[in-house]
Amino acid sequence: MRRPLDLLRRLRRANGPLPLKNPRYQAFRGFVLVILAIISAPSMAGSPEPVGLATNRTDLTPKDQGRVLAVTRPTTDFSKPESFETMQGGAGTSRKDVNRDAFSQPSENITFEEQGTFKLGNALFRKNWVSSPSSTQASDGLGPLFNERACQNCHLKDGRGRPPTPDSRTTSMFLRLARDASTAEEKAEIAGHKVLNFPDPVYGTQLQELAVPGLNGEGRMHVDYGDEKVTLGDGSTVSLRKPSYSVDGLGYGPLDPRTTLSPRLTPPMIGLGLIEQIVPADILAHADPDDRDGDGISGRLNIVRDGTSGELTLGRFGWKAQTASIRQQAADAFAGDIGISTTEEPNHWGDCTAAEKACLAMPNGVQKRLGPVEAPPPVMDLVTFYSQNLAVPARRDVAAPDVLAGKKLFYEMGCIACHTPKFVTMRGTPNKAQAFQLIWPYSDFLLHDMGPGLADGQVVGDATGSEWRTPPLWGIGLTKTVNGNSFFLHDGRARTLTEAILWHGGEGQKARDRFAAADSADRDALIKFLESL
């Protein structure tokens, strides 16, 4: 017999579930709910998930579990909007006017006192760090090698970055540097989740293009674009940009021949606190690593080690789901992008390696009166709170006929097999603002093989070189409004949503082919739906 969660997954994914009044449907649904309600062990026999990740929701009563399953089940009625569909970030959804600040609003349901905390976090998010020593002291510690001086300079208006152009710096897209395990010992380290991969021996985990005075940067990302023509079902053509990456002006010798280059565009910051409070069991319910239901969609977890507790947990942030928490994500960015040490990442010289001796000889920004790191815990507390409470904007035009038609096509083409529409966050959250919220991220937060076209060849923990985490889609229709451009996917190669869809391969190939084969009116309707998110 299949596990109850396998059965539940099939029920949730089904494009045409049995009518609600059908006795067979009621019996099946009742069976699943009863089984879920009585399971209390943290893991099931034969489950491939690591011990400690519960496969059922312990924060809900059986009655509430039934309510959650009912409200998150994909709709089959596209004649009108669903209840609460406009409020895609739950009660915290921002209903402010749509403008360039649409991604920079606080969650609407935080308290007045918390709004002050949010503003302080915003100030630190925008703060420019300076090289040491300086008269500012509390802002000392930049670099010595770095990519930017402030978080906001990468997450432009709290939105996504953009790929470099010949006449601009590469501010908001970086090159991750890594190689796979090459010895039995290294393979054991990855298998034991002690490391995600191995850095370049000279240049570390990320190419640092900038440096403080008296030091040279590591090099410059170079992008060449080829052109691929795609012919659609109606005979029209779309031109896709196919990028290739290299590094110009390497400042400290050659890269290791085994080092892979993986470009990473900075993603939008909205809704992160809500994502953090999705119950792991609800993400596990969509995982199907062996494709037991035969739909061609797998969905795998990236299990990572929590930097604070040392325990294995679910990765849900980052392009490859390599990070478990917002605080760790912020600490990694401070260290890798700006070169600032924190309690979580206490290296005062950022990503400088032992081979970069001139970098390690530079002064750091530690002030004894402020603690042993350059960004002490109060700074991390504020930046984390800010990152957790950037509101998701309200949906627009949800009742428009073309948007509803596009939503129906999005479901029928199979896009929701990875872009899961809805979740309900856990009850017992650290901040009540994120508790028990119906949210619409359109992501399952799992790893999917997207085929050779999007592969970067870089292993990150359990993620292979062709796997990527499903990115949330909420807010995607406001990309141009907020950031003044429309660059999508992990490296910004797609200049339109149509191009982004046409790059889907691997597990996304069937849905991509259905989109490509559709007539122009249907394709336009589906894009209208995405633009309403």
In this predicted model, what pLDDT tens digit does every residue of 246-260 receive, in sequence order?
Answer: 999 999 999 999 999
Q: Are 33 and 69 in contact (CB under 8 A)?
A: yes
In this predicted model, what pLDDT tens digit does every residue of 429-445 receive, in sequence order?
Answer: 999 999 999 999 999 99
In this predicted model, what pLDDT tens digit does every residue of 32-70 receive, in sequence order?
Answer: 433 333 333 333 223 344 446 788 899 999 999 999 999
332 Cβ contact list (under 8 Å, min separation 6): 323, 345
Residue 238 belongs to a domain: yes
In this predicted model, what pLDDT tens digit does every residue of 267-308 receive, in sequence order?
Answer: 999 999 999 999 999 999 999 999 998 999 999 999 999 988
242 Cβ contact list (under 8 Å, min separation 6): 225, 226, 227, 228, 453, 493
Range of the domain at 254: 112-270+323-388
Residue 355 belongs to a domain: yes
Residue 167 belongs to a domain: yes
Beta carbons within 10 angstroms of residue 257's beta carbon: 6
**DSSP category for residue 21:** T
Residue of 512, 416, 527, 410 lying closest to 476 (CA atoms): 527
Q: Which residues of 175-197 are buried (b: 16+ CB within 10 A; e: fewer)?
A: bbbbbbbeeeebeebbeebeebb
Question: What is the per-residue pLDDT for 134?
Answer: 86
Residue 247 belongs to a domain: yes
Q: Are 436 and 428 in contact (CB under 8 A)?
A: no
In this predicted model, what pLDDT tens digit does every residue of 203-217 receive, in sequence order?
Answer: 999 999 999 999 999
**DSSP category for residue 460:** B
- Strand-pair partners of 228: 240
Average pLDDT, the chain: 90
Residue of 299, 166, 305, 241 lying closest to 491 (CA atoms): 241
Cα distance between residue 274 and residue 429, in whole Å: 10
Identify the three-state secondary structure at position 317.
strand
Residue 468 belongs to a domain: no
Q: What is the average pLDDT across 158-183?
A: 87
In this predicted model, what pLDDT tens digit does every residue of 16-27 receive, in sequence order?
Answer: 433 433 444 444
Residue 430 belongs to a domain: no
User: Which has more pLDDT, 28 or 220?
Assistant: 220
Question: What is the per-residue pLDDT for 52?
Answer: 61
What is the β-pairing status of strands 173-178 and 260-265? antiparallel
170 pLDDT band, cuts 50/70/90, is: low
- The count of structural domains within the chain is 1
Residue 228 belongs to a domain: yes
